[in-house]
Amino acid sequence: MTNPLLSHWDTPFALPPFATITDADFAPAFKAALAEGRANIAAISASTEAPTFANTVEALETAEESLDRVSGVFYNLSGADSNPAREALQRDLAPLLSAYYSERALNPALFARVDAVWQARDSLSLSPEQARLLELQRRGFVRAGAALSPDQMQRMTALNERSAVIGTQFAQNLLADERDWFMDLAETDLGGLPDFLVTAARDAGAERGRPGAIITLSRSLIVPFLQYSPRRDLRQTAFQAWVARGENGGATDNRALVAETLAIRHERAQMLGYPDFAAYKLETEMAGNPGAVRDLLMRVWAPARARALVDAGVLSGMMLEDGINDDLAPWDWRYYSGKRRKAEHDLDESALKPYLSLEAMIAAAFDCANRLFGLEFRPLDVPLYHPDARAWEVTRKGEHVAVFIGDYFARGSKRSGAWMSAFRGQRKFGGAERPVIVNVCNFVKGDPALLSWDDARTLFHEFGHALHGMLSDVTYGALAGTNVARDFVELPSQLYEHWLSVPEVLERHARHWQTGVPMPADLRDRLLATSTYDQGFSTVEYVASALVDMAFHEGVPPADPMAKQAEVLAGLGMPRAITMRHATPHFAHVFSGGGYAAGYYSYMWSEVMDADAFQAFDEAGDPFDAATAARLETFILSSGGSVEADQLYTAFRGRMPGPEALLKGRGLLDAA
């Protein structure tokens, strides 16, 4: 029988044929796709024709189409709906794919052909996008080690394979810890919890076959529990399990993998001529060097820490009033911060959630995209990879733009967090293709599903990434969508969050799920008035993680990463009642594939731009100003990586920004 992953996809919008794909199809599909890729690379490398842009650079663009297609399906499913068969295949594939990509990147004949085109570039009359593709392609070969000696290439290949294996193991260990832990709640343990949380905890218990309510490590379940439960002992148990992911000893402990990963990265960077991995990584980012990163982070750290210490004093006083003569602990912060927000701003998360149904927030994200960019969304009735996933066709003026898939609910087979990915990217060369974009979240399932304010922001954030993918309009797939500098990629997502806080958006979409009545104006105003509430806490937990990440990758890597983490936090004067947002053993951004290695700072680097970018709409006097939105699409959302990031931002805004708008947005300008 024909393997559905390798056959022509005669489906609506050429979607993957999810209904006919089985787990048994993936291994043979990868085998065939790898063979095809090797044959195509060999043909390019061995060509007797003089190297040209067409027969070398463009040929490489389409050499691995089958592999890209199969990988797009498999790795999306592995992240969103894993199972033992997929986890086993991931482990098997990690060294095989790493070996393939090392073989490709370290192919001397292939690099020689690309380099020959590069050397002749001034005489080739290349378009700007062609010149950019050539530049990035050659740079990729050099940074992968194409100029190394044969012995060094052999060592680099071994390091790459080992890195792929342990990155996969890190992610699977983390998923196992998240999937396996839960805490049963007796009926007496439910006191003080709002109805939405009790319902969600009972549903989680039913899903796991437990007789009553449970708390799991799903962020959308554990965070409200920490916020509302008056039981300090249960909060402590839940919090300690949450932060101990990847650090529980035994087969799923990630600490040794972290140390090995850091050593491998350092060795690879030094082989390539860099002093350390941070210097290697940041060379191609907007920041450029670790010093620029540290300057930004420390400029924010000082006022954030000062604000957090003041807030800690207030919360400690509230604990004493409750008769608890103890130090404020990390499992206390959210509980007393929630009580403080209620007392000072008369705002309680449980009062907001009825107005923030998942359906309403999806509609709000779609409506903003319509008003800004003219996009329209039509539900699709097509087979998808899981019953919870939903799809829409995205059009503009009747023209097909993309397919958007939303997969919003937490489940044991899904890794934690939220992300945007693509089953297919956009391109014009090699057969025009429009993208198939997916947003994956971990919201608590309900009837209806009611979101927290943080959940709603997450939905808008990931949809901002989705717009970056869907509105891409470049020739070459390698430059499309989110294929940009890591410290630029968060700009569209963080910028899109701003529209959730536009009063007219809330007035139109934040409606009670039962009555349809808009959120009362006074509740909305109180919500928006708290936009900078607890920013000391959230900024400290984020910046601490970013600084630890950078410290890991500068200089000689630590033999004991946990000791290094403790050293960095002590040097910063980390408030004892706040922990890193991502402690090292579960820092998936950095150690599961490493996309954000020496790059977790990028959220804040992008925030400098997103705060300034939204000011462009303020200056225009309309959050939906058509001219500003058109510039945003032209220079940011549609251009992908076809131009350097700083040039794109300058084209949109006329200049690069400083951090003042960020500090103002976080309410930290006046902090000591």
Digit-coded pLDDT (tens) for 456-502? 999 999 999 999 999 999 999 999 999 999 999 999 999 999 999 99
pLDDT, tens only, 538-549: 999 999 999 999
Structure token pair of residue 95? 């060294």
> At residue 601, what are phi and psi to the nearest 5 degrees?
-60, -20
Alpha carbons within 13 A on the beta-carbon side of 528: 17
Percent of the chain with pLDDT over 70: 100
DSSP alpha helix (H) spans, 416-560? 453-470, 486-500, 503-509, 521-529, 535-553
> What average pLDDT does this structure show over 645-660?
94
| Residue 462 appears among annotated catalytic residues | yes
CB 511 within 8 A of CB 358: no
- Which of 109, 92, 108 has its CA nearest to residue 23? 92
The helix/strand/coil state of 402 is: strand
pTM higher than 0.85, yes or no?
yes
> What average pLDDT does this structure show over 602-618?
95
For residue 150, say if its preceding peptide bond is cis, omega within 30 degrees of 0: no
Q: In this structure, are strands 399-409 and 436-443 parallel, antiparallel, or unpaired? A: parallel
How far apart (Å, rounded) are the C-alpha atoms in residues 197 and 294?
A: 39
DSSP alpha helix (H) spans, 4-107? 26-46, 59-61, 65-80, 84-105
The helix/strand/coil state of 213 is: strand
How far apart (Å, rounded) are the C-alpha atoms in residues 353 and 511?
A: 10
How far apart (Å, rounded) are the C-alpha atoms in residues 425 and 472?
A: 9
Which of 285, 462, 490, 607 is catalytic? The answer is: 462
How far apart (Å, rounded) are the C-alpha atoms in residues 662 and 310?
A: 20
Angle of helix 602-620 relative to helix 535-553, nearest 10 degrees, comes to 130
Torsional class of 443: left (φ above 0), alpha (ψ -120 to 50), beta (otherwise): beta
Task: Determine how many CB atoms are found less than 10 A away from the CB of residue 381.
Answer: 7
> What average pLDDT does this structure show over 66-87?
96
The confidence score (pLDDT) of residue 432 equals 95
CATH code 1.20.1050.40 for 12-105+107-147: yes
Q: Which residue ranges make up each domain of the chain? A: 12-105+107-147, 181-245, 253-347+535-600, 354-529+603-665
Torsional class of 654: left (φ above 0), alpha (ψ -120 to 50), beta (otherwise): left
When the pLDDT of each residue in the chain is averaged and rounded to a whole number, the result is 96
The confidence score (pLDDT) of residue 318 equals 97
pLDDT at 24 over 80: yes
pLDDT at 643 over 50: yes
- Give residues with Cβ within 8 angstroms of 291, minimum separation 6: none
Task: Determine how many CB atoms are found less than 10 A away from the CB of residue 271.
Answer: 17
pLDDT band at 446 (very low <50, low <70, confident <90, very high): confident
- Give residues with Cβ within 8 angstroms of 193, minimum separation 6: 201, 225, 228, 229
pLDDT band at 672 (very low <50, low <70, confident <90, very high): very low
pLDDT, tens only, 38-67: 999 999 999 999 999 999 999 999 999 999
Task: Check if 253-347+535-600 and 354-529+603-665 are the same fold.
Answer: yes
DSSP alpha helix (H) spans, 252-389? 255-271, 277-282, 290-321, 330-345, 349-352, 358-373
pLDDT, tens only, 201-258: 999 999 999 999 999 999 889 999 999 999 999 999 999 999 999 999 999 999 999 9
CB 424 within 8 A of CB 9: no
**Consecutive H or E run containing 556:** none
How far apart (Å, rounded) are the C-alpha atoms in residues 105 and 97?
A: 12
Q: What angle do CA 484, 624, 611 make, to 5 degrees?
A: 50
> What average pLDDT does this structure show over 583-594?
93
Sign of CA dihedral 398, 401, 403, 409: negative
pLDDT band at 357 (very low <50, low <70, confident <90, very high): very high
Question: Which fold does the domain 253-347+535-600 belong to in CATH?
Answer: Neurolysin; domain 3 (1.10.1370)
The helix/strand/coil state of 107 is: coil
Which residues sit opposite 421 in a β-bridge?
Answer: 438
- Give residues with Cβ within 8 angstroms of 542, minimum separation 6: 581, 603, 604
> At residue 185, what are phi and psi to the nearest 5 degrees?
-115, 125
DSSP code for 348: -
Strand ranges of the sheet holding 376-380, from the earlier edge strand across to the other edge: 376-380, 390-396, 399-409, 436-443, 419-424
CATH assignment of 354-529+603-665, among 1.10.1370.40, 3.20.20.10, 1.10.1060.10, 1.10.150.120: 1.10.1370.40
- Which of 48, 169, 165, 158 has its CA nearest to residue 103? 158
The confidence score (pLDDT) of residue 1 equals 67
pLDDT band at 671 (very low <50, low <70, confident <90, very high): low
CB 583 within 8 A of CB 565: yes
Structure token pair of residue 131? 């010149």
- Give residues with Cβ within 8 angstroms of 461, minimum separation 6: 418, 493, 494, 496, 497
